[in-house]
């Protein structure tokens, strides 16, 4: 029997949680403590069932409660829990081969790590070291896009344009920010998704020319930006960015940490536009979060620069390539393939998007609904014509978070401005109906509250 009060008190005394403080959490009665999960639903210590509409951190791709993955982990654990220095293990080798098979083009060689931030740090180091080995050591700058997120550590904390970084100054050198190709709010004034795509791609070329190609190492970007609430660029964007990178010898790093493993209705989102990046990073869906593992996979062209004793990529991480995580990843990919969860993500995602769009007619505060596969976003505005967001004083965020909670949805808004969803890919149409109905009620309650101050 779980002593819920004791666990909550202990969490308040000893635990530091993602972006939360214990004073406010104490006022709310302590953190929510989850004890079990099945599919898209989880149960807390009070026995209440919730829909986890963002599937962990858009990361529980196959859904909760897959005992086959637990069994694969247990089997590997009882045989071999780690490996002696300088050696490797069968599950890890099999995983590297499997990833080479399912990633597009000639992405062939994997550098396994433990999380998405580490994967992107590794990708940046590979890009810089690659140029150095080719006699272009001046290339160190990394172009990413405003409104994206690539991780919480080191250099990648300065990639993308999120807030909350002032505590960690000084900024990492050489991190440049290009516009996000968001057709709903095109920073470059593009009136259509195509126009926005072309102008935002052009902005990357302009930036490379302004800084000088001999200083730019890589473009780091998510094919579909999750942290901008599922921004799907116009179709021109990715082929153009690929061409621009090739034109100036800049490496293209696709951050598929959220996008990968079926999230957008393809195994990898780069496939929507037929673009093969030079380096692809992956995490979350690689094990559906059953264990922490991530990876940077590179093309043979990039890998070749590191062949030979004098060219070794100098990095070593104790837990990169852990055999038990590899066993979990292999079983997870097997489930994604055998249950066609990629196809389900495309099909149910398209249905879910339609249902969310239908909410717009009843809720004037829904400015935009967007996404692809089961990576979906809603943008909230005070005025649809001007697209003005609500001011912070309106208190949309606390009202909305409370309303979502009351509806039994585990889902938080970003500052009351956007709601992003990345549910498990085993979601059914009836699950999508259920989430839509709960969102309908929650947003209705917020709109009513805003009218009656």
Ligand X SMILES: Cc1ncc(COP(=O)(O)O)c(C=O)c1O
22, 57, 184, 351: which one contacts ligand X (CB under 6 A)?
57
Nearest to ligand X of 111, 390 (CB atom): 111
CA distance 263 to 268: 8
Q: Which two tokens stand for residue 262?
A: 């079926």
Q: Smallest distance, Å, CB 256 to ligand X?
A: 8
Of 133-162, binders to ligand X (CB under 6 A) are 149-151
Stretch that binds ligand X, among 138-146, 180-188, 213-221, 251-259 (CB under 6 A): 251-259
- Minimum distance from CB of 259 to ligand X (Å)? 7
To the nearest whole angstrom, how small is the minimum distance from the Cβ of residue 375 to ligand X?
10
Is there binding between residue 255 and ligand X (CB under 6 A)?
Answer: yes
Instruction: Report the nearest approach of ligand X to the CB of residue 150 (Å).
Output: 5
- Give yes or no for residue 120 binding ligand X (CB under 6 A): yes
Spell 402-439 as b/e; 16+ CB within 10 A means b: bbbbebebbbbbbebbbbbbbbbbbbeeebbebbbebb
> Cis omega (within 30 of 0) on the bond before 170?
yes
The count of other CB atoms within 10 Å of the CB of residue 289 is: 21
Alpha-helix runs per DSSP H in 15-147: 22-27, 55-58, 67-79, 90-102, 116-133
Shortest gap between Cβ of 146 and ligand X (angstroms)? 14
Q: How far is 397 from 446, CA to CA, in rounded Å?
A: 10
Tell me the window of 181-189, 253-261, 309-317, 354-362 that interacts with ligand X (CB under 6 A).
253-261
Nearer to ligand X, 89 or 227 (CB): 227
Q: How many helices (H) and strands (E) does the chain have?
A: 13, 15
Site for ligand X in 407-446 (CB under 6 A): none
222 is an interface residue for ligand X by CB under 6 A = yes
CA 404/CA 442 separation, integer angstroms = 6
Site for ligand X in 60-119 (CB under 6 A): 115-117
Q: Name which of residues 265 to 304 contact ligand X (CB under 6 A).
A: 283
DSSP of 89-127: -HHHHHHHHHHHHHSSTTEEEEEEESSHHHHHHHHHHHH
The reply to whether 8 sits near ligand X by the rule CB under 6 A is no
Residue 258 or 291 having the CB closest to ligand X: 258
CA angle 420, 424, 425 (to 5 degrees): 110
Task: Give backbone dihedrals phi and psi of 362, rounded to 5 degrees, phi first.
Answer: -95, -15
| Residue closest to ligand X when measured from CB atoms | 116
- Which of these ranges, 210-218, 250-258, 304-312, 330-338, lies near ligand X under the rule CB under 6 A? 250-258
Shortest distance (Å) from residue 131 CB to ligand X: 22
Handedness of CA 37, 42, 47, 49 (dihedral sign): negative
- In the complex, the smallest distance separating the C-beta of residue 12 from ligand X, rounded to whole angstroms, is 24
223 interacts with ligand X by CB under 6 A:
no
- C-beta closer to ligand X: residue 407 or 418: 418
**How far apart, in whole angstroms, are the C-alpha atoms of residue 201 and residue 274?**
16
58 or 198: CB nearest ligand X: 58
What sign does the CA torsion over 324, 55, 280, 165 have? negative
- Alpha-carbon distance of 290 to 76, in angstroms, equals 14
CB of 148 to ligand X, least distance (A): 7
How big is the site for ligand X, counted in residues (CB under 6 A)?
14
In whole angstroms, the minimum distance from the beta carbon of 107 to ligand X comes to 17
- The crossing angle, in degrees rounded to 10, of helices 323-338 and 90-102 is 40
Please, which residue, 120 or 332, has the CB nearer to ligand X?
120
Chain residues in the site for ligand X (CB under 6 A) = 57, 115-117, 120, 149-151, 222, 226, 255, 257-258, 283
């Amino acid at each position: 029997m779980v002593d819920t009060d004791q666990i909550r008190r202990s969490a308040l005394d000893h635990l530091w949680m993602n972006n939360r403080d214990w004073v406010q959490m104490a006022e709310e009665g302590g953190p929510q403590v989850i004890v079990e999960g099945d599919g898209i639903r989880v149960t807390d210590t009070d026995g209440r069932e919730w829909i986890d509409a963002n599937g962990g951190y858009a990361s529980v791709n196959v859904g909760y409660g897959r005992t086959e993955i637990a069994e694969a982990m247990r089997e590997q654990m009882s045989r071999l829990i780690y490996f002696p220095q300088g050696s490797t293990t069968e599950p890890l080798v099999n995983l590297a081969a499997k990833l080479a098979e399912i990633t597009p083009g000639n992405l062939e060689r994997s550098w396994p790590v433990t999380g998405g931030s580490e994967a992107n740090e590794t990708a940046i180091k590979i890009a810089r070291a690659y140029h150095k080995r080719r006699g272009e050591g001046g290339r160190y700058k990394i172009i990413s896009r405003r409104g994206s997120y690539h991780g919480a550590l080191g250099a990648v904390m300065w990639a993308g344009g999120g807030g909350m970084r002032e505590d960690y100054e000084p900024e990492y050198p050489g991190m440049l920010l290009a516009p996000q190709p968001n057709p709903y709010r095109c920073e470059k004034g593009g009136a259509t998704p195509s126009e926005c795509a072309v102008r935002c791609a052009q902005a990357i070329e302009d930036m490379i020319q302004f800084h000088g190609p001999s200083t730019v190492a890589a473009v780091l970007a998510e094919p579909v930006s999750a942290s901008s609430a599922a921004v799907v660029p116009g179709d021109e964007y990715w082929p153009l960015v690929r061409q621009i990178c090739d034109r100036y010898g800049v490496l293209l790093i696709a951050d598929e940490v959220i996008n990968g493993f079926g999230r957008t209705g393809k195994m990898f989102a780069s496939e929507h536009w037929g673009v093969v990046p030079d380096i692809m990073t992956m995490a979350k869906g690689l094990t559906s979060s059953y264990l922490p593992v991530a990876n940077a996979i590179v093309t043979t062209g990039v890998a070749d620069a590191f062949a030979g004793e004098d060219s070794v990529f100098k990095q070593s991480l104790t837990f990169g390539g852990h055999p038990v995580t590899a066993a979990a990843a292999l079983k997870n990919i097997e489930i994604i393939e055998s249950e066609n969860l990629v196809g389900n993500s495309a099909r149910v995602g398209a249905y879910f998007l339609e249902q969310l769009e239908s909410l717009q007619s009843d809720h004037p505060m829904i400015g935009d609904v967007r996404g692809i596969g089961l990576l979906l976003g809603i943008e909230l505005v005070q005025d649809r014509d001007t697209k003005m967001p609500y001011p912070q004083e309106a208190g949309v965020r606390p009202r909305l978070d409370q309303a979502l909670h009351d509806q039994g949805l585990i889902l938080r808004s970003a500052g009351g401005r956007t709601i992003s969803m990345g549910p498990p890919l085993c979601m059914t149409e009836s699950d999508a109906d259920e989430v839509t109905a709960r969102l309908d009620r929650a947003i209705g309650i917020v709109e009513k509250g805003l009218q009656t101050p």
